[in-house]
Amino acid sequence: MILFDLFLVFLQIGAFSFGGGYAALPLIQAQVVDKFAWITLQEFTDLITISQMTPGPIAINAATFVGNQVAGIPGSIVATLGNVLPSCIIVTILAWLYNKYKNLSILQGVLEVLRPAVVAMIATAGIIILVPTIFTSGTILFALNNIEVRSIAYFVLAMILLRKFKKDPVLVMICCGVLEVLYQIVPQFI
């Protein structure tokens, strides 16, 4: 039964998450954290971090991770297949339809309307990632014991390196990871 649930959940996520992996994050959280409680919110934020460091789309990495956490290797296979299946079917149909009707003005109008919705979904995903990282309680509460200053410093450093100095994102992730390792190790030697 759990394999069937995993398949159906990730089939829905794969079918209804438009705009890429970040746009899928609110749907993934709603199902795997809130509804089924297969993983915790902290595990979900860790999942996002790990998904950024491993090759492949976030939604597929999430399906594989959650499936493995819930039902081992069979769970990861079933969840990943459920996540990928709708895309394969939908993209095949859309490619055929787009090639046939690409000059229709109504199609261009639909595409224009979808763009802001996708931006909103990506912004929501960013907030979902940012809030538990900056606020230790996982909710926006401005209190000194609830703010993770180190996370804010890493965020600011990453933004400066990415935007101002145009550094490679992989290099920025490695830099922040090294800083955190040093933060964890150095006090032990002092």
Alpha-carbon distance values, 88 to 19, 81, 102 (Å):
15, 10, 20
Query: What's the pLDDT tens digit per position in 1-25?
Result: 899 999 999 999 988 877 677 778 8
Residue 135, helix vs strand vs coil: strand
Position of tokens 């296979």?
77
Model pTM greater than 0.85?
A: no
Domain boundaries, the chain: 2-147, 148-190
Q: What percent of the chain has pLDDT over 70?
A: 98
Contact 71, 2 (CB under 8 A): yes
Query: What's the pLDDT tens digit per position in 136-164?
Result: 888 888 888 899 999 999 999 999 999 99
Measured CA to CA, the distance from residue 185 to residue 180 in angstroms comes to 9
pLDDT of res. 159: 95
Query: What's the pLDDT tens digit per position in 106-133?
Result: 888 888 888 898 889 889 888 888 898 8
pLDDT band at residue 190, thresholds of 50, 70 and 90? Answer: low
pLDDT of res. 50: 83
pLDDT of res. 79: 96
Nearest one of 29, 26, 39 to 121, comparing CA atoms: 26
